[in-house]
Amino acid sequence: MTGYSIIEILIALLLLSVIAIVVLRFVPNSPIQRYFQMRREKAERALWEDVLRQIVQMEQDGRIVSTESLAGTMGRSVPELRRVMGRMGEHDLIVDDSQKVRLTKDGKRWALHVLRAHRLWESYLADEARLPMSRLHHQAEAVEHQLSESDLAALDAHLGHPVEDPHGDPIPTADGELAHPRGTALSQWEGGAYVRVVHLEDEPPGIFNRILSKGIRPGLSLRLEEVSPQSISVLLDGSIVTLEQDLLPNVEVAEDTELLTADPRVTRLSQLPTGQPAEILALSDAIRGFSRRRLLDFGVTPGTKVSPILDNPFGDPRAFRIRGTTIGIRNEQAREIWVRRDAAVRSSTGGSR
């Protein structure tokens, strides 16, 4: 009896299986070969979809689409893209007439499906899963390739048919209609204007993260203070924030029609002193999805009377008297609710607090 130990037998088995896998890899139509084939096809398909989505986005931004500009935005090499786009051309998805790349009818439909999947999934991650803004894009890039038409219909209904994604980009409809974004870049505005952030461009990520780190979010109201060629400083939440020149094209804003910040009695619910009654004016667009629905369910609607009545050991959340009930709301949300102080009631109860 030759004495092989268990360890030696295990190592031998391991080696044999590695050899078997390597050999089967090259045997046509073996399970291993089919597995690798399937993975290759999946990766190729995902790359096609990325190209399609990129083209439709660039077209919407009014940029000229060429193999070179695509390679630049996607971070791929030009020869690789040329090969991929050649195959896509054979499948009648795109037309490349040497100066400009266009989508065919089929290509456009597919591209809008992917874009819709991407933006709906970002909405889901932001509104329901509450992922931080900086992580939305990356996660959605993986999931956008896995969602079918019926998945999207279900997701759309679940989210309450959102019109815009968390960055403020329009979400294509199931019929393939795509609205135009409504804002203009911050670099085009002059000092003194009241504006609302409607869109943040999430690529490149470096610029996007710097914008986020300044505290800028879609839906926030700003007042432009100083405008110079190098930077713009804005009034945000009572403090001045300076945005450098390279950030400005990626922040799109629209005129704030409500001019909430102009009335001295208008303030944020979070800044209302305890015991001070007020009337709710508006919920800012920054409260989205589930949080917004929940607040509306409680009857936090414009015109409602509200009064902070309870502090908290940590100062956050505070409790408010609304429609005969007491509701605790975190400062993070109360900050986004605009109210007007009740002048009359304040004088009558001023001493009693």
Partner 1 sequence: MQTAHHPVTPEEVLARADALRRTFRTSFRDQVVEGIYSQAQTLADRSVSRDHGKKWDLDQRIDRIVTSPWWGLPIMMALLTGVLWVTIVGANFFSDLLFSALFKVEDWGVSAFNALSAPWWLTGFVWHGVYRGLAWVVSVMLPPMAIFFPIFTILEDLGYLPRIAFNLDWMFRKVGAHGKQSLTMAMGFGCNAAGVVATRIIDSPRERLIAILTNNFVPCNGRWPTLIMLATIFVAAQFPPMVASLAAAGTLLGVVLIGILFTFITSAVLTRTLLKGAASAFSLELPPYRRPSILRTLYTSLIDRTLFVLMRAMATAAPAGAVIWLLANVKLGGQSLAAWGVEGLNPFGHALGLDGAVLLAYIVAIPANEIVVPTLMMIYAKTGMMMDENGYEAIRHLLVDQNGWTLLTAVSLMLFSLLHNPCGTTILTIWKETKSMRWTLLGTFIPLGIAFAVCFAVANIARLFGAAG
Rule CB under 8 A: which residues touch partner 1? 128-132, 135, 160-161, 163, 173, 177, 179, 283, 285, 287-288, 290-299, 301-304, 309-317, 319, 323-330, 332-333
Nearer of residues 107 and 170 to partner 1, judged by Cβ? 170
The rounded distance, in Å, linking the Cα atoms of 39 and 41 is: 5
The rounded distance, in Å, linking the Cα atoms of 188 and 254 is: 11
Nearer of residues 38 and 163 to partner 1, judged by Cβ? 163
Cβ 237 to partner 1 shortest distance, Å = 18
| Identity at 26, one-letter amino acid code | F
Nearer of residues 107 and 308 to partner 1, judged by Cβ? 308
Nearer of residues 65 and 196 to partner 1, judged by Cβ? 196
Distances (CA, A) of 42 to 25, 55, 133, 156: 18, 20, 28, 25
148's enclosing H/E stretch is none
Nearer of residues 63 and 323 to partner 1, judged by Cβ? 323
Tell me the residue ranges of DSSP E strands in the chain.
94-96, 101-103, 184-185, 194-200, 221-227, 231-236, 239-244, 251-255, 266-268, 278-283, 305-310, 318-322, 325-329, 337-341
Cβ 317 to partner 1 shortest distance, Å = 5
Cβ 293 to partner 1 shortest distance, Å = 8
Nearer of residues 49 and 127 to partner 1, judged by Cβ? 127
Characterize the bridge pairing of strands 305-310 and 278-283.
antiparallel
Cβ 331 to partner 1 shortest distance, Å = 9
Q: Which among 284, 288, 267, 264 has a CA at the least distance from the CA of 276? A: 267
- Token match 């009740």: residue? 342
Cβ 208 to partner 1 shortest distance, Å = 16
Cβ 129 to partner 1 shortest distance, Å = 6
CA angle (266, 271, 277) in 5-degree steps: 65
Nearer of residues 107 and 288 to partner 1, judged by Cβ? 288
β-partners of residue 199 are: 252
Angle of the 205-213 helix axis to the 133-143 helix axis, nearest 10: 150
Cβ 21 to partner 1 shortest distance, Å = 26
The rounded distance, in Å, linking the Cα atoms of 305 and 322 is: 6
Nearer of residues 47 and 198 to partner 1, judged by Cβ? 198
Beta-carbon count within 10 A of 155 CB? 18
Beta-carbon count within 10 A of 346 CB? 16
The rounded distance, in Å, linking the Cα atoms of 63 and 319 is: 50
Nearer of residues 324 and 351 to partner 1, judged by Cβ? 324
Cβ 312 to partner 1 shortest distance, Å = 6
Distances (CA, A) of 347 to 275, 321, 344, 351: 12, 19, 6, 8
The rounded distance, in Å, linking the Cα atoms of 202 and 141 is: 12
Cβ 269 to partner 1 shortest distance, Å = 12
Nearer of residues 88 and 159 to partner 1, judged by Cβ? 159
Cβ 303 to partner 1 shortest distance, Å = 7
